[in-house]
Structures are given as C-alpha cells and as structure tokens.
C-alpha cells in the first residue's frame, strides 16, 4: 500500500462516518477500502493506480461519464461569475433557464412549475408537503394520508422515510401517515376521501432489488388518482434522465403526474441539485394571502453551479443523441446478461428496465443464500479485482453504468461480473 493511501485511510477510519456502512468492519485493521482519486469517462481510478468501470454510476447519479469536458467547462465558466447566491428573494439566469428547459420536456400546460432543492429526499419532501397544503387550500383538509407501496424507498428525510416500504429505512414514530399497498388491485379497499396523494417509483423499484412493475400499472394509477381527486407523485430520482431508455420513465405510458421528483442525474451526476415539478393548477392554490405561501427551502436552493451542470447535461442529451445511442446498448445489455445467466446456475433472475439491471443470485435449487453469508457483497468485492465497481442490494447485483459507456466497455463490465460470480460461488 502506498504511503498516501495509508494516510488517507487512517484519517478516514479515525474521523469519517459512512452511510449505510458497518463501521466496525470498515475500520478494522485488515479492511482496505478503495480510495477513489479521479475519473475519466466510465472509469474510476484509485490511489493505488488501479482503474474500474463505474458499474453503478456512483450510486445511480452519473450520466455522461466522469470528467466530461463540456460539463467541466460549464461549471468552470460559472465559477468565474459566482458560485452561489440566495434564491430567497432573488433569482439568477441559470435557475430561470433550467426551470424553463425542464418544463419544456413535457407537454405544454402540464408540469409548468419547478421548485429546486438539494437531493432526492428533499425533492420528495417538497412534493409531500406541497400536496398536503394544496389539498387543504383547495377545501379538502381531511386528505392527510398518502398511499405508498411495500418495499419502496423514497429517501431518508423524515417524511420521505415514513412513506418507504422497507422496514430498516422506515420512520414510524413521526412523519406522514401512510397506507402501504402491494398492487393497484388493493386500491379498492382504500377510502380515497382521506388520501392526499399516491407516491410510486415508476416502472421499477430500485432498493427492492430492482423489481419492475407490471406494464400499465402507471396508467391505472393515473386514472384512479384523477377519478378520486388524489395527487400522483412520481419518484423519478433513479429512473429520470434516460435510465429506462426514455428521458423519464413516465413517458413510457404517457402519464403526466401532479408532482415529478428529480435529482441524481439532473446535473449529470456532478453536483447536488433536485427539482420538484408540478402543475399550474396546484401552484395556483398557493397564491393569495401570505399564509398560503410554501414556507420551505434550503440555503443552497437553485445553486448556480448545479444549475450550470444541469443545463450542460441537458444540452449533451441533444448534442450527443444520448437516448438514441442508448437503444443498441440496452439490447446489448439484455443479450449479454441472458448469455451470462445461461452459464451460471446461481443467477436466479435478471430484472432489467432499460439501462437498469439487477442480477439476483441464489443457490442452484432456487433457495436464497444465508443472509449472514452476504454473498452479494462477496461477489462485488471480487468484481473489483476484475475491474468493476458496484454494490449489491442484498444478493442482487446492480449494473447501471453511465449512459455514455461504449459497447466495448459494457462487454468488459459484464465479463468482469461473470468472472467474479465464477470465482466467488462457481
């Protein structure tokens, strides 16, 4: 181990606290975490001189690759002007332009208003609070409940986690009252008159081991919400910006929600920025006396550097034909993963939605590996030795590289995962 690597790991283990991490294991003397120092395209480089494919887009954020010259240039140009100014009582050109471009991605007259925040959890938090207040100011104060789905994940802030359907991430003591369902058929048992909104990750649940929803479910939800005066909130924090093969997952079923929550890929994966889009109708309920204003916001709302990165990312989608060029890579991913499954009896299922894939590992007889074996983690550690960095969700390996990956790099990533499965569990 190089001296600088050892120094950084010493400081980290002495002072840092990592998310979703067993810190006792992380800080153990024998633990040697990867220290990422720089990136280029889909490749991440560590302090020991090794490089890896970024197999989960740095936790589902990176779109066009690392160190992209146009994204770098946009941020650098903004740095020469101002890095941050308050959005409370002021505005700036990039926020105005970004809001207009986001609204223009949807049919005219639909999602016309954009509220900026910091990350996916806060984008969700905004939508939840907006929905409650809009219902109250529209004469329906009894609508205080939210419908969510089992095994869903919507973030870690208090309100967002109260709607999550994964027990270890949920906040039950406080937050919003939630009704958790398994499928749209369960809507028949719900008293819609008490419901403010339904929230769902469209097309596919992320933290639930990448499980797609049945085709047509989103359309059914939209129709039920419209018929019952209930808002539809779509959590596109993961699925937005091309991950499913369209710019947004809701476009696959021609559904326009009442609230659309965006983050992660909004800036191309460069900087924290989130947006909650909503309709002019909902926005109008907040107009009038001071008590109707939406009293919520963050210090770094509409940060100019984040807005610059987001605008540059949207320009890249158009200039590089990102979505069009992605289609053959989606087909390649399907074909290569199908081939890999045929060679590995421990691959129980492959769940894919566009350029999002979950590879579930089980024993050849279909039984799950013992939880304490942490098989998915072991495979990911081995994959790093073959040049692929990713993380599992239990024993489901996530493969979600940046959209800009080349066919050759995609082949490399899948081969590395196959080699890791072979050397770890056969």
What is residue 426's predicted lDDT score, i.e. its pLDDT? Answer: 75
Coil, helix or strand for 396? strand
pLDDT at position 195 over 60: yes
pLDDT score of 238: 97
**Of the candidates 322, 364, 355, which has an alpha carbon nearest to the alpha carbon of residue 337?**
355
Three state DSSP letters for 341-399:
HHHCCCEEEEEEECCEEEEEECCCCCCCCCHHHCHHHHHHHHHHHCCEECCEECCEEEE
- Give pLDDT, residue 376: 97
State the helix-helix crossing angle for 322-343 and 304-319, rounded to 10 degrees.
80
pLDDT at position 218 is 97
Does residue 171 carry a pLDDT above 60?
A: no
* Nearest Cα residue to 195 out of 150, 151, 257, 140: 140
Instruction: Write down all domains in the chain, each with its CATH number in brackets.
Output: 34-64+321-425 (3.90.1150.10), 72-319 (3.40.640.10)
- CA-closest candidate to residue 262, choices 281, 234, 242, 290: 234
The pLDDT of 348-367, averaged and rounded, is 97
Q: What is the pLDDT of residue 166?
A: 78
Which residue from 235, 223, 285, 239 is spatially nearest to 126, judged by alpha carbons?
A: 235
| Beta-strand pair 51-54/388-389 | parallel
CA distance 212 to 229: 27
Q: How far is CA 56 from CA 42, 61, 153, 243, 358, in A?
A: 10, 8, 17, 11, 11
User: Region 336-354: what's the mean pLDDT?
Assistant: 97
More confident residue, 173 or 188: 188
Q: What is the mean pLDDT of residues 394-418?
A: 98
Helix or strand run (H / E) with residue 136: helix 120-137
Determine whether 219 is exposed, middle or buried from the number of CB atoms within 10 Å of its CB (0-12, 13-18, 19+): middle
Span of 15-24, 143-152, 173-182, 281-290 with lowest mean pLDDT: 173-182
pLDDT-based confidence at residue 168 (cuts at 50, 70, 90) = low
How does residue 29 score in pLDDT terms, banded at 50, 70 and 90? very high
CB 381 within 8 A of CB 38: no
395: alpha, beta or left? (left if phi > 0; alpha if psi -120 to 50): alpha
Q: pLDDT tens-digit profile of 270-279?
A: 999 999 999 9
**In this structure, are residues 153 and 207 in contact, taking their beta carbons and an 8 Å threshold?**
yes
Closest CA to 246 of 327, 332, 318, 333: 327
Closest CA to 251 of 82, 106, 392: 106
First to last CA, the chain: 30
pLDDT band at 174 (very low <50, low <70, confident <90, very high): low
Amino acid 170: pLDDT: 61
As a dihedral over the C-alpha atoms of residue 315, residue 320, residue 322, residue 325, rounded to 10 degrees, the angle is 170
Average pLDDT for 86-112: 97
pLDDT band at 169 (very low <50, low <70, confident <90, very high): low
Region 241-259: what's the mean pLDDT? Answer: 98
**pLDDT at res. 172:** 55
C-alpha 50 chain-centroid distance: 27
Using DSSP's 3-state secondary structure scheme, residue 51 falls into strand
Q: Please say whether the beta carbons of 368 and 184 come within 8 A.
A: no
Judged against a pLDDT cut of 70, whether residue 178 lies above it is answered with yes
pTM of the model: 0.96
- Tell me the mean pLDDT in the region 234-262: 98
Give 206's pLDDT tier (boundaries 50, 70, 90): very high
- Percent of the chain whose pLDDT exceeds 90: 94
């Amino acid at each position: 181990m190089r001296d600088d690597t050892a120094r950084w790991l010493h400081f980290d283990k002495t002072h840092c606290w990592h998310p979703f991490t067993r810190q006792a294991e992380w800080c153990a003397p024998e633990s040697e975490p990867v220290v990422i120092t720089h990136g280029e395209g889909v490749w991440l480089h560590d302090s020991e001189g090794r490089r890896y494919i970024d197999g989960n887009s740095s936790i589902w954020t990176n779109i066009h690759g690392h160190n992209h010259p146009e994204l770098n240039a946009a941020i650098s140009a903004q740095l020469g002007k101002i890095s941050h100014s308050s959005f409370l009582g002021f505005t700036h050109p990039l926020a105005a332009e970004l809001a207009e471009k986001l609204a223009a991605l949807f049919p005219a007259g639909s999602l016309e208003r954009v509220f900026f925040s910091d990350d996916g959890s806060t984008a969700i938090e905004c939508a939840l609070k907006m929905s409650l207040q809009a219902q109250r100011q529209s004469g329906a104060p009894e609508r205080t409940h939210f419908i969510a789905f089992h095994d869903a994940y919507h973030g870690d802030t208090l309100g967002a986690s109260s709607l999550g359907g994964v027990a270890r991430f949920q906040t039950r003591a406080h937050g919003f009252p939630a009704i958790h369902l398994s499928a749209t058929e369960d809507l028949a048992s719900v008293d819609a008159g008490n419901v403010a909104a339904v929230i769902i990750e469209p097309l596919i649940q992320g933290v639930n081991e990448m499980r797609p929803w049945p085709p047509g479910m989103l359309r059914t939800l939209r129709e039920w919400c419209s018929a019952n005066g209930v808002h539809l909130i779509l959590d596109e924090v993961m699925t937005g910006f091309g991950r499913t093969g369209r710019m947004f997952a809701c476009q696959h079923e021609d559904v326009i929600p009442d609230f659309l929550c965006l983050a992660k890929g909004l800036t191309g994966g460069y900087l924290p920025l989130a947006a909650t889009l909503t309709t002019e109708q909902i926005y109008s309920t907040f107009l009038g006396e001071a008590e109707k204003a939406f009293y919520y916001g963050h210090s770094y709302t509409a940060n100019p550097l984040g807005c610059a990165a987001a605008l540059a990312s949207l320009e890249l989608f158009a200039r590089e034909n990102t979505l069009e060029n992605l289609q053959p890579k989606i087909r390649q991913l399907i074909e290569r993963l199908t081939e890999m499954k045929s060679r590995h009896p421990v691959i129980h299922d492959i769940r894919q939605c566009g350029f999002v894939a979950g590879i579930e590992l089980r024993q050849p007889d279909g039984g799950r590996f013992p939880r304490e074996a942490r098989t998915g983690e072991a495979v990911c550690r081995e994959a790093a030795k073959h040049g692929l960095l990713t993380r599992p969700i239990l024993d489901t390996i996530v493969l979600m590289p940046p959209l800009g990956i080349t066919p050759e790099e995609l082949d490399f990533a899948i081969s590395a995962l196959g080699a890791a499965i072979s050397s770890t569990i056969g």
